[in-house]
Amino acid sequence: MAVGWVKIHRELWDEYGFFSQPFCKNMAWIDLIMLANYTAGTIYKRGITVNLKRGDMGVSQEELAKRWRWSRGKVIRFLDELESKHWIIQQGNNVTTCITIVEYEKYQSDSTTNETVDGKIIVQGTNEKQYLTKNKEVKNKKDNTGAGAPPAPVLELKAEIDIAFDQFNEWLNKNAPRVRKLQQPITVTQYAELKKDYASPARKKLLFDTLMGMNNYKTLLSKYVSAFSTVNSWAAKEIDKNPSFYEIKNKNESGKPEQQTPREQQAATILNAI
């Protein structure tokens, strides 16, 4: 396994062809590291000041989708996957999404090895000199090549859930865009739970009606934060009124197709991925 590391200059962005093709996931990860602030600073989004620390970046999912030539759904899934691995932290607000690289110092440390004195390696840091013996350095290298070394960025997700989640988000963008604008939109993990919990025709229609109702609710964005929690909370009120009708397993003992109203057919078609 290869050891050691290299720094990448941001001038790479200016090289011909860097943005000419859709990014792979490894390139997207490298781009995030390059986008992160080297020092604390301030940016302005829609006239509002956003303070960022070293290792932070204030970039929206739409901006990343444009940079990487991805769908917004794919960006969301990628960021959620990185967060589940504790590589990044996402903090959304009304202005933008703040992404923090968890181990930014590991990728952008200022330390460089200069010289050797009396059998010790002098490492120049930003604030002080640190001294590491050769034996300790060799031991550290061995430790980083064993089973305990950080795993390589293998971030592939199942194609089936990817396609279904994309279809779901495309429908939301067209028919319930205000649901997508909540501070905490539905993640791919939460979508998988919806897929499981709203599988029957009755529940599928309930989910459709709930999402449409949320979109039409005037104070949705000011009153609610999490799309997933709001969907379940609203739907639970209807389920409690008629629990037998909304049983998770659909009871159709005759084996014949159920007659559906036009609205039920629309819900079944639109939310077929669920």
The answer, yes or no, to whether residue 237 has pLDDT greater than 80, is yes
| Residue 68 resides in a domain | yes
Query: Which domain covers residue 92, as residue numbers?
Result: 10-105
pLDDT tens sequence across 89-127: 988 766 677 899 998 888 776 554 443 434 333 333 333
| 149 and 77 in a common domain | no
Are β-strands 112-117 and 97-101 bridged in parallel, bridged antiparallel, or unpaired?
unpaired
Q: What is the pLDDT of residue 115?
A: 39
Residue 196: how many other CB atoms lie within 10 Å:
10
The answer, yes or no, to whether residue 158 has pLDDT greater than 50, is no
| 118 and 70 in a common domain | no
| Residue 58 resides in a domain | yes
| Spatial contact of 28 and 65, defined as CB atoms under 8 Å apart | no
In the structure, what pLDDT confidence band is assigned to residue 272 with cuts at 50, 70 and 90? low
pLDDT tens sequence across 186-197: 887 888 888 888
Q: Which residue has the higher pLDDT, 49 or 55?
A: 55
Q: Which residue has the higher pLDDT, 5 or 28?
A: 28
Q: What is the pLDDT of residue 98?
A: 87
- The CATH number of whichever domain residue 67 belongs to comes to 1.10.10.10
The answer, yes or no, to whether residue 153 has pLDDT greater than 90, is no
In the structure, what pLDDT confidence band is assigned to residue 266 with cuts at 50, 70 and 90? low
The answer, yes or no, to whether residue 181 has pLDDT greater than 70, is yes
| 184 and 263 in a common domain | yes
| 265 and 190 in a common domain | yes
In the structure, what pLDDT confidence band is assigned to residue 134 with cuts at 50, 70 and 90? very low
| 221 and 176 in a common domain | yes
| Residue 168 resides in a domain | yes
| 132 and 64 in a common domain | no
| Residue 182 resides in a domain | yes
| Residue 2 resides in a domain | no
| 85 and 70 in a common domain | yes
> What are the distances in angstroms from CA 100 to CA 42, 104, 163, 268?
15, 8, 28, 39
Residue where one domain finishes, among candidates 141, 156, 171: 156
Q: What is the pLDDT of residue 178?
A: 93
Number of compact structural domains in the chain: 3
| 228 and 150 in a common domain | no
Residue where one domain finishes, among candidates 105, 125, 147: 105
Are β-strands 41-45 and 97-101 bridged in parallel, bridged antiparallel, or unpaired?
unpaired
Q: What is the pLDDT of residue 159?
A: 47
| Residue 4 resides in a domain | no
| 88 and 45 in a common domain | yes
The answer, yes or no, to whether residue 212 has pLDDT greater than 50, is yes
| Residue 3 resides in a domain | no
Instruction: State the Cα–Cα distance between residues 183 and 60, nearest whole angstrom.
Output: 12
| 199 and 96 in a common domain | no
| Residue 249 resides in a domain | yes
Q: What is the pLDDT of residue 40?
A: 84
Q: What is the pLDDT of residue 59?
A: 85
The answer, yes or no, to whether residue 252 has pLDDT greater than 90, is no
| 223 and 200 in a common domain | yes
pTM for this entry: 0.42
Q: Cα 159 from chain centroid? A: 16
Q: What is the mean pLDDT of residues 122-139?
A: 38
The answer, yes or no, to whether residue 247 has pLDDT greater than 70, is yes
Q: What is the mean pLDDT of residues 143-155?
A: 44
| 79 and 60 in a common domain | yes
